[in-house]
Amino acid sequence: MAPMKKKVEKKGGKKKEMITVEVKKEIIEKHERRMRVADIARFYNKSTSTICTILKKKEEIMGLDAAKGVTRVSKQRPHVLEDVEKLLLVWINEKQLAGDTVTENFICEKAKTLYTDLVSKLPGTSTENEGFKASRGWFDNFKKRSGIRSVVRHGDAGISDAKAAEVFADEFQKLMVSECYLPQQVFNCDEMGLFWKKMPKRTYITAEENAMPGHKPMKDRLTLLLCANASGDFKVKPLLVYHSENPRAFKKCRVQKSQLNVMWRSNRKAWVTRILFVEWINEVFGPAVKKYLLEKNLPLKVLLVMDNAPAHSPGLEDDLLEEFEFIKVKFLPPNTTSLLQPMDQQVISNFKKLYTKALFQRCFEVTEGTNLTLREFWKNHFHIVNCLKIIDKAWDGVTKRTLNSAWRKLWSDCVLGHGFEGFAHELEPPVVDEIVSLGKTLGLEVNEEDIQELVEEHGQELTTDELIDLRREQQQEVMEEISSEEVEKNTEESLTSNEIREMCKMWERVQNFVEKHHPNKAVAVRAMNLFNDNAMSHFHEILKRRQKQHSLDRSLIKVAQKEKDSVSYTN
């Protein structure tokens, strides 16, 4: 006899909807922000009794450290599997950032590797443990819990679709002719990861940095979005995403972010999101290209070519401001970005080489012009503000010829001298040779292979230990921001607690209004949570610290009073 199936439906055939741990925490946080139980129940379309049950288990729920999407944490489920899924999500995000295709088999193999590595670290366990098979059932449940898709961003050369690329290139060139696009009006953008503080592995600086206790090389990564037109004569201000909104070096160097040569944004993953990309389009790209075309007396007509990444997926044109309706977007087909995308045709590679060259030049200038040794400069004085100056120098160094020749596979007719094969490469300066020469001047043993390895390093596979470090950093980001020197003490002291409470009440009213009337509640919730995480958490922390201090002061006063009474009684 077949086993009885567990009931999953209520009377009337309505399927019971489980509430994830993540949503339960949201409910608790809303209640702590003084949102009424009835309002919470109405917002999540749940009964007040369900909300009250969740609130009664507040301490238990907030203490859970579950992977995104988990509805409950089973006591029978090994804790190591929770760790595997958390690290797997970090790994998938990094793969997506690097532009790699991630398939079901790829994810399952990585899951088994992570499981084996984590089990081997447990005391009294064997690396031959085969308790986890990463089966199809596990994968399907993992997809539901985490919300991932089996295929993310494409771009791996090993699986590139040459036929699709050829067809698209032919259609694209016909489109350029039929729509009368000029090279000045056609743009391409792409993200790139940059390990801004890494040197070739064989340098003594790198060896010393890796040997330092607590050293976290993954934390040194940022993401840049580079963009330029097909004629190569106009580069758009890049978007830079870092893990910190206000690095300590900004305060030290009195940096005004609005004056930077990049659009500075931050999130825990140092990753370009759709929200950040839309901000860049409307605040940087749109105004810049409009001004450029008007100055050139060219028609307001722009085509932006890019791959179908999560940050800029279809529907982007709907997010453009009305004044930028002249901007049209065209996406490259899947599995063709490595073959067609202009920024992938030596532009990003050239930028990274120029960055390394400028970095070596800066090191040489410091050791020649100051009493600092290279080791002292690298350890104590090289910070993100130096990096920004080097990024600016490197991006400025990418030549018009490099940018123009990058379109030879997608739009060969726009490339100057396209009839001469190898034209662009023969005239490019030998950047790698210059880097090697500078390195030797600094006393570093580097060769061409070392430089190439450094340029390509962002795409290398992360080890389990690196994923653990990266996840730990992501968890600590908010706390580091709050406890760091970036919290301006004078500004904080100028605010009274009543002012902060009043502002929090006003924000609560705004939040309730948006959540109630916004047509897309999922979008509204994400936006509210983002603002709460990045802005409101700062003021909540101020109130919490003051409350703790107030409680401490009251305790000290009581102790002092008791001592005074005791002395009076004795006398």
CATH number for the domain that contains residue 213: 3.30.420.10
**Domain ends where: 414, 443, 459?**
459
pTM value surpassing 0.75: no
Q: Please indicate, yes or no, if residue 311 is contained in any of the structural domains.
A: yes
Q: Please indicate, yes or no, if residue 173 is contained in any of the structural domains.
A: yes
The pLDDT of residue 327: 95
How far is 153 from 95, CA to CA, in rounded Å?
Answer: 9
Instruction: Of 10-14, 454-458, 505-509, 564-568, give the range with the top mean pLDDT.
Output: 505-509
- The reply to whether 298 and 244 lie within a common domain is yes
State which residues form the domain around 51. 22-64
- The reply to whether 442 and 528 lie within a common domain is no
Q: Which of the 8 DSSP states describes residue 261? A: S
Instruction: Of 216-230, 374-388, 453-467, 483-497, give the range with the top mean pLDDT.
Output: 374-388
Q: Please indicate, yes or no, if residue 356 is contained in any of the structural domains.
A: yes
**What rounded mean pLDDT belongs to the chain?**
78
Report yes or no: 225 and 238 within 8 Å, Cβ to Cβ.
Answer: yes
Residue 300: is its pLDDT beyond 80? yes
Closest CA to 197 of 10, 458, 399, 436: 458
How far is 432 from 356, CA to CA, in rounded Å?
Answer: 9
Nearest 10 degrees: CA dihedral of 250, 283, 405, 410? Answer: 130
Closest CA to 43 of 19, 60, 7: 19
For residue 453 the two structure tokens come to 């390895």
How far is 242 from 258, CA to CA, in rounded Å?
Answer: 15
Distance of CA 532 to the CA centre of its chain: 18
- The reply to whether 450 and 504 lie within a common domain is no
Q: Please indicate, yes or no, if residue 530 is contained in any of the structural domains.
A: yes
The pLDDT of residue 215: 44
- The reply to whether 413 and 285 lie within a common domain is yes
Q: Interhelix angle for 21-32 vs 37-44, to 10°?
A: 150
Confidence of residue 176 (pLDDT cuts 50, 70, 90): very high
The pLDDT of residue 185: 97
Q: Please indicate, yes or no, if residue 475 is contained in any of the structural domains.
A: no
Confidence of residue 159 (pLDDT cuts 50, 70, 90): low
Give 364 or 211, the one with higher predicted confidence: 364
Q: Please indicate, yes or no, if residue 205 is contained in any of the structural domains.
A: yes
Residue pLDDT, tens place only, 316-360: 888 889 999 999 999 998 888 888 999 988 899 899 999 999 988
Residue 461: is its pLDDT beyond 80? no
The answer to which of 195-204, 287-296, 306-315, 484-493 has the lowest mean pLDDT is: 484-493
Residue pLDDT, tens place only, 236-259: 999 999 988 888 889 888 889 989
The pLDDT of residue 368: 81
**Domain ends where: 423, 440, 459?**
459
The answer to which of 56-60, 261-265, 489-493 has the lowest mean pLDDT is: 489-493
Closest CA to 87 of 474, 476, 457, 477: 474
Q: Tell me the mean pLDDT in the region 175-183.
A: 95
DSSP count for the chain of H helices, then E strands: 25, 6
Closest CA to 402 of 356, 343, 332, 336: 343
Residue pLDDT, tens place only, 37-63: 888 888 888 888 889 988 888 877 776
Closest CA to 492 of 539, 533, 548: 539
Residue pLDDT, tens place only, 502-549: 888 898 889 888 888 888 776 777 677 778 766 787 788 788 777 766
- The reply to whether 348 and 214 lie within a common domain is yes
- The reply to whether 439 and 505 lie within a common domain is no
Confidence of residue 569 (pLDDT cuts 50, 70, 90): very low
Q: How many Cβ atoms are within 10 Å of 404's Cβ, its own excluded?
A: 23
In percent, the amount of the chain with pLDDT more than 90 equals 25
Helix (H, G, I), strand (E, B), or coil: what is residue 327? strand
Confidence of residue 289 (pLDDT cuts 50, 70, 90): very high
- The reply to whether 170 and 299 lie within a common domain is yes
Residue 428: is its pLDDT beyond 70? no
- Residue carrying structure tokens 């950047």: 431
The pLDDT of residue 239: 97
- The reply to whether 535 and 441 lie within a common domain is no
Instruction: Of 155-164, 256-265, 508-517, give the range with the top mean pLDDT.
Output: 256-265
Distance of CA 143 to the CA centre of its chain: 21
- The reply to whether 189 and 332 lie within a common domain is yes
The pLDDT of residue 207: 56
Confidence of residue 278 (pLDDT cuts 50, 70, 90): very high
Residue pLDDT, tens place only, 129-147: 457 888 888 888 888 777 6
Confidence of residue 204 (pLDDT cuts 50, 70, 90): low
Please provide the distance, in angstroms rounded to a whole number, between the alpha carbons at the two ends of the chain: 88
Confidence of residue 211 (pLDDT cuts 50, 70, 90): low
Q: Please indicate, yes or no, if residue 88 is contained in any of the structural domains.
A: no
By CB neighbour count within 10 A (0-12 exposed, 13-18 middle, 19+ buried), where does 291 fall? exposed
Q: Please indicate, yes or no, if residue 320 is contained in any of the structural domains.
A: yes
Q: How many Cβ atoms are within 10 Å of 213's Cβ, its own excluded?
A: 4
Confidence of residue 233 (pLDDT cuts 50, 70, 90): very high
- The reply to whether 378 and 499 lie within a common domain is no
The pLDDT of residue 568: 47
Tally the domains of the chain.
Answer: 3
Distance of CA 488 to the CA centre of its chain: 25
The pLDDT of residue 150: 46
- The reply to whether 388 and 300 lie within a common domain is yes
- The reply to whether 165 and 30 lie within a common domain is no
